[in-house]
A and B are shown apart, each in its own frame.
Chain A
Amino acid sequence: MRCNGADAILRSLEAEGVDVAFGLPGGAILPLYDAFARGTTVRHVLARHEQGAGHMAEGYARASGRPGVAIATSGPGATNLVTPIADAWMDSTPLVCITGQVRSNLIGSDAFQECDITGITIPIVKHSWLVQDVEELPHVIKAAFHVARTGRCGPVLVDVPRDIQEAELDFSYPDAVSLPGWKPPRRGHERQILAAAQAIAAAERPILYAGGGVLNAGATDELRALADAGRLPVVTTLMAKGAFPETHELHAGWPGMHGPKWSNYALNKADLIVAVGARFDDRVTGKVSAFAPGAAVVHLDIDAAEISKIRRADVPVVGPLKPVLAELARLIEPVPGRTEPWLRQIAEWREAFPLRYRNDGDMLKPQLVLETLQELTAGRDDVVWTTGVGQHQMWAMQYLVCDQPRSFITSGGLGTMGYGVPAAIGAKAARPDATVVCVDGDGCFQMTQQELATAVLEELPIVVVIVNNGYLGMVRQWQDMFFEERFSQIRLTHTVPDYAGLARAYGAEGFTVESEDDLEAALSEALACGRTAVVDARVDPREHCFPMIPAGAAALDLVEFEETVEV
Chain B
Amino acid sequence: MKHTLSVLVENKPGVLMRITSLFARRGFNIDSLAVGPTERHDVSRITIRVDCETSPLEQIEKQMHKLVNVLRVSELVPGESIERELVLMKVSAPPAKRAELMALGEVFGARVVDLGPDSIVFELTGPPEDVDSFEELVRPHGLQELVRTGRIGLGRAHRPNRNRPRQHVLA
Query: Does B68 belong to the interface (CB within 8 Å)?
Result: yes
Which residues on B sit within 8 Å (CB–CB) of A319? 171
- In the assembled complex, the CB of A187 is this many whole angstroms from the nearest CB of chain B, namely 7
Question: By the criterion CB–CB under 8 Å, are B62 and A304 in contact?
Answer: yes
Q: How far is the CA of A228 from the CA of B53 in the complex (A)?
A: 42
Q: A122-B17, A181-B68 are in contact. List 16 more A-B contacts (CB 8 A).
A: A118-B14, A119-B17, A122-B18, A127-B69, A130-B13, A130-B14, A180-B71, A181-B9, A181-B10, A181-B70, A185-B171, A304-B170, A305-B65, A318-B170, A318-B171, A319-B171
Question: By the criterion CB–CB under 8 Å, are B67 and A183 in contact?
Answer: no
- In the assembled complex, the CB of B60 is this many whole angstroms from the nearest CB of chain A, namely 9
B70 to A, closest residue via Cβ: A181
Which residues on A sit within 8 Å (CB–CB) of B168? 304
Most buried by B among A118, A122, A181, A184: A181
Most buried by B among A130, A147, A180, A187: A180
Interface residues of A in 119-143 (CB under 8 A from B): 119, 122-123, 126-128, 130
Lowest 3 A-B CB distances belong to which pairs?
Answer: A305-B62, A127-B68, A185-B171
Interface residues of A in 157-196 (CB under 8 A from B): 179-187
Question: By the criterion CB–CB under 8 Å, are A127 and B59 in contact?
Answer: no
Most buried by B among A118, A127, A185: A127
Interface residues of B in 75-110 (CB under 8 A from A): none
Please classify the interface of chain A as helix (H, G, I), strand (E, B), loop, or mixed, using the class held by over half of its residues: loop
- In the assembled complex, the CB of A548 is this many whole angstroms from the nearest CB of chain B, namely 30
Could you pull out 19 A-B pairs where Cβ atoms are within 8 angstroms? Answer: A119-B17, A122-B17, A122-B21, A127-B69, A179-B68, A180-B10, A181-B9, A181-B69, A181-B71, A182-B68, A183-B170, A186-B171, A303-B66, A304-B65, A305-B59, A305-B65, A309-B59, A318-B171, A319-B171
Which residues on A sit within 8 Å (CB–CB) of B69? 127, 181
Query: Does B25 belong to the interface (CB within 8 Å)?
Result: yes
Which residues on A sit within 8 Å (CB–CB) of B66? 126, 151-152, 303, 305
Question: By the criterion CB–CB under 8 Å, are A126 and B68 in contact?
Answer: yes
Q: How far is the CA of A183 from the CA of B67 in the complex (A)?
A: 10
- In the assembled complex, the CB of B139 is this many whole angstroms from the nearest CB of chain A, namely 39
Residues on A lying within 8 angstroms of B by beta carbon are 118-119, 122-123, 126-128, 130, 147, 151-152, 179-187, 303-305, 309, 318-319
Q: How far is the CA of A186 from the CA of B170 in the complex (A)?
A: 9
Question: By the criterion CB–CB under 8 Å, are B170 and A185 in contact?
Answer: yes
Query: Does B38 belong to the interface (CB within 8 Å)?
Result: no
Which residues on B sit within 8 Å (CB–CB) of A304? 62, 65, 168, 170
Supposing A184-B170, A304-B170 touch, asked if A123 and B59 sit within 8 A by C-beta, the answer is no
Q: How far is the CA of A150 from the CA of B18 in the complex (A)?
A: 20
Which residues on B sit within 8 Å (CB–CB) of A151? 66
Query: Does B63 belong to the interface (CB within 8 Å)?
Result: yes
Which residues on B sit within 8 Å (CB–CB) of A130? 13-14
Which residues on A sit within 8 Å (CB–CB) of B67? 127, 181
Q: How far is the CA of A241 from the CA of B25 in the complex (A)?
A: 31
Question: By the criterion CB–CB under 8 Å, are A183 and B9 in contact?
Answer: no
Question: By the criterion CB–CB under 8 Å, are B171 and A183 in contact?
Answer: yes
Q: How far is the CA of A123 from the CA of B26 in the complex (A)?
A: 12
Which residues on A sit within 8 Å (CB–CB) of B9? 181
- In the assembled complex, the CB of A82 is this many whole angstroms from the nearest CB of chain B, namely 15
Q: How far is the CA of A318 from the CA of B171 in the complex (A)?
A: 7
Which residues on A sit within 8 Å (CB–CB) of B171? 183, 185-187, 318-319
- In the assembled complex, the CB of A124 is this many whole angstroms from the nearest CB of chain B, namely 10
- In the assembled complex, the CB of B9 is this many whole angstroms from the nearest CB of chain A, namely 7
- Residues 21-36 of chain B: 1 if any A CB is under 8 Å from the residue's CB, otherwise 0? 1000100000000000
Q: How far is the CA of A118 from the CA of B65 in the complex (A)?
A: 20
Which residues on A sit within 8 Å (CB–CB) of B17? 119, 122
B61 to A, closest residue via Cβ: A305
Question: By the criterion CB–CB under 8 Å, are A123 and B68 in contact?
Answer: no
Which residues on A sit within 8 Å (CB–CB) of B70? 181
Which residues on B sit within 8 Å (CB–CB) of A126? 66, 68
- In the assembled complex, the CB of B46 is this many whole angstroms from the nearest CB of chain A, namely 13
Which residues on A sit within 8 Å (CB–CB) of B62? 304-305
Question: By the criterion CB–CB under 8 Å, are B14 and A122 in contact?
Answer: yes
- In the assembled complex, the CB of A526 is this many whole angstroms from the nearest CB of chain B, namely 44
A303 to B, closest residue via Cβ: B66
Q: How far is the CA of A147 from the CA of B68 in the complex (A)?
A: 8
Q: How far is the CA of A119 from the CA of B168 in the complex (A)?
A: 27
B67 to A, closest residue via Cβ: A181
A146 to B, closest residue via Cβ: B68
A183 to B, closest residue via Cβ: B170
Which residues on A sit within 8 Å (CB–CB) of B14? 118-119, 122, 128, 130
Which residues on A sit within 8 Å (CB–CB) of B21? 122-123
Q: How far is the CA of A184 from the CA of B170 in the complex (A)?
A: 7
B55 to A, closest residue via Cβ: A308
A187 to B, closest residue via Cβ: B171
